[in-house]
Chain A
Amino acid sequence: MTTLANPPEVKSEAPSVVIVPGDPGPRPMSQARHRLRKAVSLVVPPFFVLAVIIGFWYFMSYVVLDAERRFLLPPPQQVLETGFLNWQNFSQILIGLWISARVAFVGLGISIVLGMSFAIAMSQARWVERSFYPWAVIVQTVPILALVPLIGFWFQYGFTSRTIVCVMISLFPIITNTLFGLKSVDRGHHDLFTLHRAGRFRRLWKLQLPAALPAIFTGFRIAAGLSVIGAIVGDFFFQQGQAGIGRMIDNYTESLQSQQLFAAVIMAVLLGLSIFWAFGLLGRLVVGSWHESAHHVEDDS
C-alpha cells in the first residue's frame, strides 16, 4: 500500500491521467421533466392566445355593441347554444360540411394525380417542362372568379363545376413542389445510378421519387388547405343540387342568423385544419424516419 498523497479512489499507477470531476450524467428525472416542459411550452401559448381572443370577443359583444347590434357579433355562448348544441341547426351545418368536404377530397385527389403526372413528365424531358410549365403558371394566375361564369356555362352548376374550381386552385403547389423535389436530387446520388447504368424508370422509382417525398408532402399539405378553399368558393357560385357549407354561410348571412353563421365558419376552418394536419401526419409517417425536417421542426402547422 502506498501512502502517497493520492486519494485512494484515484489509481496511483497512472499519475499523468487526471480525472476531472465533471458532469455527473443526466439525472433520471431530468429527461421526463424536459419532455413535459416541452409539451407545456407547445400547448400553453396557443391556448393563451385563444383565451385572449375569446376575452376580446366577449368585450366586443357586450361592451362595444349595444343590444340591437349584438347580432353582428353574438357572444360565444350563444354561438355554442344555437350553432352547435341545437341538433337541428348543427346537423344542417354538418350536412353542408360533408357536401363541401366531398368536393374538396375529390378535387384534391384529382389534383394529386394530375399534378404529380405533370411534374414527373416535366422532370423527364426538358421540352415537356418548357411546353407545359408556362401553362401551369397561367392556370394558377388566372383570376378564378373571372372563369367561374364560363365553367358554370360549360359544366352546369353542380358537383362537376365545384370540383373543377377546387382542382384549379389546388393543382399548382403540387406541380411545383413535386417538380422541385424531383429536380433537386443530390448530384452524387445521380452519379451512383449513372455509374451502374440505371435506366430512366429505375432512376425515377428508386431515386427521384423517394428523394422528392418531403417536397411532395409539402405540396400535398398546401394543396389540402387550398382544396377546402376551392370547395367553398365553388359552393358560392354553383348552387345547383345540395348546398355546401359555402352556400350555407351565404344563406345564414342573408337571413342574419349570425349564430349559425359563426358555427358554420368555425366548422369550415376545422375542416381545412384537419385535412392539413392529416397530410402533415401522413408525411411524417412516410418520411419522418429519415428526413431531417421531421426532427428539427417540432410543429410546422
Chain B
Amino acid sequence: MVSVKASGLGPSVGANGETPSGILFDRVTKTFKDGTVAVEEFSTAVAPGEFVAIVGPSGCGKSTLLRIASGLTAATSGSVRADQDSLGYVFQDPTLLPWRTTLRNIELFAELHDLPKEERRRRAADAIVLTGLEGFETHRPRALSGGMRMRVSLARSLALQPNVFLFDEPFGALDEITRERLNGELLRIFEQQRFAGLLVTHSVSEAVYLSDRVLVMSPRPGRVVAEVAVPLERPRRDSLRFDPEFVRLTRTVSDALRQEYQ
C-alpha cells in the first residue's frame, strides 16, 4: 500500500469516527452471488464539506461502493453510514424521465419526498439557476444535448439540497470540452453548497481538480492502494489545471494507478 499523504489536510473526522452528515465506510466488503469479490475491506470517511474522489480501473467496484452508500445495494460485510434522507446521487446515465420537461424532471425527487409545491418550485428554480438551465425549463430530454441532460440530472439532486452527494462517473460520456465546463460548474456548486461529496471517475485530472482527497483503487477485488491529499486552495479557478502543484498531484495519482496495472 502506497500512502502518499500530504500533511495538514487529512479527513476532518472526529476522533470517535462520528460523521454527523458525512459518509462513513467501515471495512465494507461486497461479494456478488457468483462469488466475485467486488470490494474488499474498504474504509474511509467523507466529512461534511469534504469532496473525495475514487479513481481506479474498470470493474474495481467503485460504482458498487456508491450503490452501497446510497442503500441501493447491501454490503456483504462491514457497515456504511450516510444520511440517506438527504442524499443526492448522479448516475453515469442521466436517467431523466422522457415524458417530463426539464422543470418537472428537476422537481421529481422533491415530489417523492413530499415537499410542498411552492417549496418544490422554489428549489427547482434555484437548481435551474445553479446549473445554467434557464430557458430550457419546458424542453423534454430528447430535445437536450448530452451535457444539458447531465445538468438536469445534477439539478434534480441539487433541488433536494442534499448533505451527501454521490457522483458515479457523471461526465464519462461527454466530450472533453463539455466535461471540463461541467467540472468547473460542479466545483463552483460544491464550493457554494459544501455537501459531503464522493465522486467515482476514470479521469485523474477531474479527480484532482474537484477533490480534497483522491483514493486510488486496485483492480478487482477493489482495495484502496493509495490516498493522495489535494491541498489546493479553494475557491479553485479554471487555470488551476496549468498550476505546477496541480500537475504534480495528477502525476502522483497517475503513478499510483499505473503501479496497480503492472
Our verdict on whether A and B bind, yes or no, reads: yes
Query: In the complex, how many angstroms separate the beta carbon of B168 from the nearest chain A beta carbon?
Result: 11
Query: In the complex, how many angstroms separate the beta carbon of B93 from the nearest chain A beta carbon?
Result: 6
Contact of A291 (CB < 8 Å), options: B71, B98, B111, B113: B98
Chain B residues packing against A (C-beta within 8 Å): 70-72, 87, 89, 91, 93, 95, 97-99, 108-109, 111-113, 140-142
Contact of A191 (CB < 8 Å), options: B72, B108, B111: B72
Query: In the complex, how many angstroms separate the beta carbon of A179 from the nearest chain B beta carbon?
Result: 19
Determine the chain B residues whose CB is within 8 A of the CB of A207 once the complex forms: 97
A16 at the interface (CB under 8 A from B): no
Determine the chain A residues whose CB is within 8 A of the CB of B98 once the complex forms: 290-291
Determine the chain B residues whose CB is within 8 A of the CB of A194 once the complex forms: 72
C-alpha gap A197/B111 in the complex (Å): 11
C-alpha gap A239/B99 in the complex (Å): 47
Determine the chain A residues whose CB is within 8 A of the CB of B97 once the complex forms: 189, 207, 210-211
Determine the chain A residues whose CB is within 8 A of the CB of B87 once the complex forms: 195
Contact of B112 (CB < 8 Å), options: A189, A198, A210, A291: A198
C-alpha gap A211/B97 in the complex (Å): 8
Q: B99 touching A196 by the CB < 8 A rule?
A: no
In the complex, residue of chain A having the shortest beta-carbon distance to the beta carbon of B166: A195
Pairs across A and B, CB under 8 Å, 16 listed: A191-B95, A192-B109, A193-B112, A194-B72, A195-B70, A202-B112, A206-B111, A207-B97, A210-B99, A287-B99, A290-B98, A290-B99, A290-B141, A290-B142, A291-B99, A292-B142
Contact with B along A184-219 (1 / 0, CB 8 A): 001011011111111000100011001101000000
Determine the chain B residues whose CB is within 8 A of the CB of A290 once the complex forms: 98-99, 140-142
Determine the chain B residues whose CB is within 8 A of the CB of A195 once the complex forms: 70-72, 87, 89
C-alpha gap A291/B98 in the complex (Å): 7
Interface of chain A, main secondary structure? helix
Determine the chain A residues whose CB is within 8 A of the CB of B112 once the complex forms: 193, 196-198, 202, 206
Tally A-B pairs: CB < 8 A.
45
A6 at the interface (CB under 8 A from B): no
In the complex, residue of chain B having the shortest beta-carbon distance to the beta carbon of A197: B112
A188 and B91 in contact, given A198-B112, A210-B99, A291-B98 (Cβ under 8 angstroms): yes
In the complex, residue of chain B having the shortest beta-carbon distance to the beta carbon of A213: B99
Determine the chain B residues whose CB is within 8 A of the CB of A206 once the complex forms: 108, 111-112
Contact of A196 (CB < 8 Å), options: B91, B113, B142: B113
A289 at the interface (CB under 8 A from B): yes
C-alpha gap A160/B15 in the complex (Å): 78
Q: B91 touching A191 by the CB < 8 A rule?
A: yes
C-alpha gap A192/B72 in the complex (Å): 9
Chain A residues packing against B (C-beta within 8 Å): 186, 188-189, 191-198, 202, 206-207, 210-211, 213, 287, 289-292
C-alpha gap A56/B132 in the complex (Å): 64
In the complex, residue of chain A having the shortest beta-carbon distance to the beta carbon of B140: A290
Query: In the complex, how many angstroms separate the beta carbon of B225 from the nearest chain A beta carbon?
Result: 29
Query: In the complex, how many angstroms separate the beta carbon of B152 from the nearest chain A beta carbon?
Result: 13
**A186, A191, A202, A210, most chain B CB atoms within 10 A:** A191
Q: A188 touching B95 by the CB < 8 A rule?
A: yes
C-alpha gap A245/B66 in the complex (Å): 64
Given A210-B99, A211-B99, A290-B142, 14 more A-B residue pairs with CB atoms under 8 Å apart are: A188-B91, A188-B93, A189-B97, A192-B95, A192-B109, A195-B70, A195-B89, A196-B112, A198-B112, A213-B99, A287-B99, A289-B140, A290-B140, A292-B142
Determine the chain B residues whose CB is within 8 A of the CB of A211 once the complex forms: 97, 99
Query: In the complex, how many angstroms separate the beta carbon of A40 from the nearest chain B beta carbon?
Result: 28
In the complex, residue of chain B having the shortest beta-carbon distance to the beta carbon of A186: B95
| 5 nearest CB pairs, A to B | A196-B112, A188-B95, A290-B98, A290-B99, A290-B140
Query: In the complex, how many angstroms separate the beta carbon of B112 from the nearest chain A beta carbon?
Result: 4
C-alpha gap A191/B70 in the complex (Å): 10
In the complex, residue of chain B having the shortest beta-carbon distance to the beta carbon of A295: B142
Determine the chain A residues whose CB is within 8 A of the CB of B111 once the complex forms: 206
Determine the chain B residues whose CB is within 8 A of the CB of A202 once the complex forms: 112
Determine the chain A residues whose CB is within 8 A of the CB of B72 once the complex forms: 191, 194-195
C-alpha gap A213/B87 in the complex (Å): 30
In the complex, residue of chain A having the shortest beta-carbon distance to the beta carbon of B89: A195
Determine the chain B residues whose CB is within 8 A of the CB of A186 once the complex forms: 95
Q: B108 touching A192 by the CB < 8 A rule?
A: yes
C-alpha gap A291/B100 in the complex (Å): 11
C-alpha gap A293/B113 in the complex (Å): 32
Query: In the complex, how many angstroms separate the beta carbon of A97 from the nearest chain B beta carbon?
Result: 37
Query: In the complex, how many angstroms separate the beta carbon of B194 from the nearest chain A beta carbon?
Result: 22
